[in-house]
Amino acid sequence: MTACAWSTHSLYCCILADIESSHQVALLSYIVRKMLVHKWTRLLATLMLFGHALAMFSKRQGPDRDISDKAKKFKANIDDLFLSNDISATRAQSVYQDGADCDLPGWKKAAKVGSHGSSTKHINRDLIRLLTRGCLWPAFFYAPVRVWDVKTQQVILVQLPFLLPHDLLYVLANRADNLDGFYCTDGLCQQSKRHLDKVSAELQTRLIAIGLWGDGTPCNFDRTQSMESFCLNLPGLTGDLGNLRIPITGLNKKFMAKGKTEDDIMEVIAWSFRCLLTGVMPEYDLHGAKLKGKAAKWAGQPVPKAILTEVRADWSWLKATFRFPQHNELDGICWQCDAKPEDIKKCTSDARWKTNRCGHFDMVHRLLEKGLTLSPLLGCPYFRTTCFLVDWLHCADIGVLCDFLAALFLLLLPKLPGTNQTQQVASLWQCMQQFYKQNITDSKLDQLKYSMLKQPKKFPKLRARAAEARGLVPFGLNMANTFLSDNVEHEKTAKLAMMHLHLCYTMLSPTVFCPEIMKANSIKFCLLYVALEEYDPVMFHIMPKLHMFQELTQMSRSCPSLFWTYRDEEFGGTVAQLSKRRGGSNNPKSTAESFLNKFRAKHDDLPRI
């Protein structure tokens, strides 16, 4: 195979074998469009589309289209528009009223929202209550959480709603036909599976692996506000169930009191995981008060035992929530080793930080020595700092890859047709368009400007989304092989670096992943990257994420695609959609209730595992 053909073939296999289900939809749609050109393949194309289900809880899922009753299907569409914040409650109620006037069956109750009780203007409240009536999801657990009061500019205590892990697992287990599905570990990475097996052997019992993801997502039109969400997943499951994401709680970042709100939320979550390990639903809350309502009825009932196995997040969220070191701290930049800022460029196999590893208690000691308090999440049974996983999306796709691709493209520009940078970038864009036509790429750049490669007073960095950058890996290799000369030392170095980076990407599929091959190519790429910086420290500038890239590709021995956050980030889009404001009360409790209620109403049918 030629280098170009091998690049395309490798990425194609990687996408088919490993990409998230939500992205497979785009891939299959592309294939179908190509197939529809030929009449004899139309039937096969139709079968492909109907045979592929959308990812559960995907923001692109939309309402249930399998309803046979046309009036119910129409109403479900209006419900979804309201719950997705595409229309306001007032507008939804007016449509319901029009439907009721047309004698559509089942529309009268929705048409009457806002006309109950002493207050007749709470259309949103009444509509939410109607849509969550008979909800199978557990009731909210309210716990005191310190938040920032925007009006008084001080920290106050509010009762924040939660969908807690032990309550969620209880209702999901009661709905399941067979609990064996919960104990599946096919989706776990090697590191998480080793941790789960070790704890299971020590306790001599079967355990369910649970994962946690947290991040902030812009939730208004100008991206000036964001929703901080904390979400649960079952990382051992595969297929559509592996895409399952359930919010635990969330609130606007402007209500977050630094170092206080996160700790209070994590304390509640840690208590829930302590309940899960007992295997019995609790009778008292974390403060010793007797539970009330539905939770009191569940007290003493058995629940499958589970532990928190992995936490996925980006570097900044780990710093803000758990006080983990950041990239410029002189006494250490990593929670997994003792690397310091000057160690970022030390990439040889005998680098000191690769042998001086940080275990759980080493990291706890470092935090306490710096006078920092520990996150209550570390109080989860058998939870360790080693359960925090480095994310490929942030450290590689929008980190090292975007840095290197931008520098590589800048190196290529003088070799392309054009008398100035604008014309040369246009030539690069034409080459990219030709690549897109000849190769299946699930996410494409829609334009390319010089400012997307290099901005004034900043180091080169490709301004692209993670999937867009990942799709350009074989393009970068093809361009390097075509235009860079083996007779020029720095060009040959750049070509070899791109080749080894590409080989790292071919290892992303669990079916072909080999930690030794990944490690070997990662070391070679990093060494070549450092050598290129010595040639041109401005163009090939090493950023701190290169250290995280090495931790992920050389030290973890786990396939990165098994715990990358593409599905989590997509769910972040769902969070933004559900939390977009259209008026009403604007305080931590009401916004969190609205967010969680709309999730429960939008997904009123519990998944069966």
For every residue of 148-200, DSSP letters joined together read EETTTTEEEEEEEEE--HHHHHHHHHHH-S-GGGGG--TTS-HHHHHHHHHHH
Instruction: Determine the average pLDDT of the residues in 486-496.
Output: 97
Angle among Cα 48, 574, 109 to the nearest 5 degrees reads: 95
Q: What is the pLDDT of residues 215-242, one digit of tens each?
A: 998 888 777 889 999 999 999 999 889 9
Question: What's the pLDDT at 8?
Answer: 37
Ramachandran region, residue 314 (left: φ > 0; alpha: ψ -120 to 50; beta: rest): beta
CA atoms within 13 A on the CB side of 490: 14
Structure tokens belonging to residue 290: 């007797």
Q: Domains of the chain: which residue ranges?
A: 3-51, 70-131, 141-323+376-390+564-602, 325-372, 392-562
Question: What's the pLDDT at 523?
Answer: 97
- pTM, 2 dp: 0.87
- Among 523, 513, 609, 547, CA closest to 190: 513
Question: What's the pLDDT at 221?
Answer: 78
pLDDT band at 596 (very low <50, low <70, confident <90, very high): very high
Residue with more model confidence, 109 or 276: 276
Residues 556 and 112: their CA atoms lie apart, in Å, by 58
Check whether 604 has a pLDDT greater than 60: yes
Check whether 375 has a pLDDT greater than 80: yes
Instruction: Determine the average pLDDT of the residues in 26-44.
Output: 36
In angstroms, the Cα distances linking 512 to 14, 504, 505, 506, 518 are: 9, 11, 11, 8, 11
Question: What's the pLDDT at 325?
Answer: 95
Instruction: Determine the average pLDDT of the residues in 115-133.
Output: 79
Q: What is the pLDDT of residues 413-462, one digit of tens each?
A: 999 999 999 999 999 999 999 999 999 998 999 999 999 999 999 999 99
